[in-house]
Amino acid sequence: MSAVSPVNHHPSDETLLRYAAGRLPAGASVVIATHLEGCPVCRARFANFAAMGGRLVEEASPELMAPNALAEAMARIDALDATPPTPPPARIVRHDIALDLPRALRRCDVGRWRWFGPGVHLSRVTIPEAPAARLTLLRVGAGRALPEHGHSGLEFTQVLTGSFTDEFGTFRPGDLAEMDSEVEHQPVVDKQGECICLAAFDGEMVLSGLFGRLVQPFLKL
- Identify the pLDDT of residue 152: 59
The answer to whether residue 137 scores a pLDDT higher than 80 is yes
pLDDT tier at 38, thresholds 50, 70, 90: very high
Residues in CB range of 17: below 8 A, 6 or more apart: 49, 56, 57, 60, 61
User: By mean pLDDT, which of 46-50, 72-76, 158-162, 170-174 is the weakest?
Assistant: 72-76
**Helix 40-52 / helix 13-20 crossing angle, nearest 10 deg:** 60
**Quick one: 74 and 96 in the same domain?**
no
- Mean pLDDT estimate for the chain: 79
Last residue of a domain, one of 59, 82, 105: 82
Residues in CB range of 18: below 8 A, 6 or more apart: 24, 57, 61
pTM value?
A: 0.75
In a domain, 102, yes or no: yes
Spell out the alpha helix ranges (H) of the chain.
Answer: 13-20, 26-38, 40-52, 54-60, 69-82, 209-215
* Residue 103: other Cβ atoms inside 10 A: 16
**Quick one: 163 and 207 in the same domain?**
yes
**Quick one: 78 and 101 in the same domain?**
no
Cα gap 25→107, rounded to integer Å = 17
How many domains is the chain built from?
2
Inter-CA distances, 133 with 115, 142, 151, Å: 20, 28, 17
**Quick one: 169 and 98 in the same domain?**
yes
**Residue 124, domain CATH:** 2.60.120.10
Cα gap 63→61, rounded to integer Å = 5
Which residues constitute the domain of residue 46? 13-82
The residue that leads in pLDDT, 122 or 55, is: 122
- Tens of pLDDT along 57-77? 455 555 556 666 666 666 666
In a domain, 151, yes or no: yes
Last residue of a domain, one of 82, 108, 123: 82
